[in-house]
Amino acid sequence: MLKMKIREAIDNLKNNVIYPVYYLKGNDHFLQHFFIDELSEKYFGSSKKEKILMLPDDMSGKEMVDRLTTTDLFSDKKIFIIRDPQKVKGKASVDLVNICKEPIGDHIIVLVNDDWASRSSFFNKIESFLPQIDVQTPFLNDVKKWAKYFIKKRGKISNSYVEDLLVNMAGDSLMHLDNEVEKICLIIGDRNKIEAEDIQHFSGWKRDRQRWEFLLALGNRNYSKSISLGRNIITKSESILSLLIPLTALFQEMLFYKLKNGTLNDFSGYIPLSPSVKKQISNFSKLFEIIEIENALKFLGEIDKRQKSAYSKDETELIQFIGNVIG
């Protein structure tokens, strides 16, 4: 099985190495779109960009094969993006594999497989001759490399501490990370280097840092600090509704850890918790009984219902929640 990291594939594009077929494997939609956009920029240049999405749920396998093999007199260059190609069945599936082996025309085919663990016969055949480009949500130790990449892509430089701050703010969401880098680059203008102060003066960073400090205090069962930070957040920058997602994520991850007896693997997909909070999940879990975690999740569900059906004061809701969970 041939494998290729996405940054390696992008470096190939920068060096004018473009292949007729690409196989993206992984569930990070930001990385999928990011690679396809980079490919599109390099392949089409200044000419019209014609990207065609084909879904087996919307068209037959025969229609797909016909589109891939029909010559267009008006446009030579196309990028065909096929999501879930394993759903193509019968002769059309065999034809699609053969087209990927021996591409026809000047267009490019991009196969997208969201399921990293898939073992379909179609992908077994594809993986025998095509390298799989990893578009799985990266582990946290790789997210920092992406922070550096996004900064360099915009013609800026930074240092390791700045990259740590950015990752702590964005978590493992590369889309969030890319957006934050773009905002900060716009703020500093023509200046070449991003400094820690640029991020620390950035209102989004302050808000996120306060949120993570609150979650750390709550996870450590520090009642007075949780009350103090919670009140400060609610009165200055957050609503109880905006806190429901990270609070729910915190207690869900603690519950998963408890149920798996401490064997929880690294987090997959985007979880709205910072690295500083995530790495403490195992320690937090030891401070709570399963029944306490389940009650916390139940209480959060009740807050959500009350907020949607009747008026309730945010500060009161949060203080009652903290009291019920760790008071």
pLDDT, one tens digit per residue, over 63-122 is 999 999 887 766 678 999 999 999 999 999 999 999 999 988 788 999 999 888 778 899
pLDDT of the residue at 203: 52
Which fold does the domain 3-134 belong to in CATH? Answer: Rossmann fold (3.40.50)
Structure tokens at 233: 């957040």
Q: Which residues, at least 6 apart from 174, have a Cβ–Cβ distance to it below 8 Å? A: 28, 30, 31, 34, 137, 138, 143, 146
pLDDT of the residue at 297: 95
Choosing among 2.40.37.10, 1.10.8.100, 3.90.180.10, 1.20.272.10, the CATH entry for 209-326 is 1.20.272.10
3-class SS of residue 262: coil
Question: For the chain, which residues make up each domain, given as ranges?
Answer: 3-134, 140-201, 209-326
Name the more confident of 285 and 262.
285
Is the pLDDT score of 277 beyond 70? yes
pLDDT, one tens digit per residue, over 135-155 is 998 887 788 999 999 999 999
pLDDT, one tens digit per residue, over 25-40 is 998 889 999 999 999 9
> Residue 309 is which amino acid?
S
pTM of the full structure:
0.68
Structure tokens at 44: 């089409």
pLDDT, one tens digit per residue, over 214-273 is 999 999 999 999 999 998 888 776 788 888 888 999 999 999 988 886 544 544 444 668
Phi, psi of 109 (to 5 degrees): -110, 130
Instruction: Return the CATH architecture of domain 140-201.
Output: Orthogonal Bundle (1.10)
Q: Which residues, at least 6 apart from 64, have a Cβ–Cβ distance to it below 8 Å? A: 54, 56, 82, 88, 92, 96
Mean pLDDT (the chain, rounded): 87
Confidence band of 166 (pLDDT split at 50, 70, 90): confident
pLDDT of the residue at 262: 55
Phi, psi of 245 (to 5 degrees): -65, -55
CA distance 219 to 254: 9
The residue with tokens 């918790």 is 273
Q: What percent of the chain has pLDDT over 90?
A: 54
Number of CB atoms found within 10 A of residue 299's CB: 17
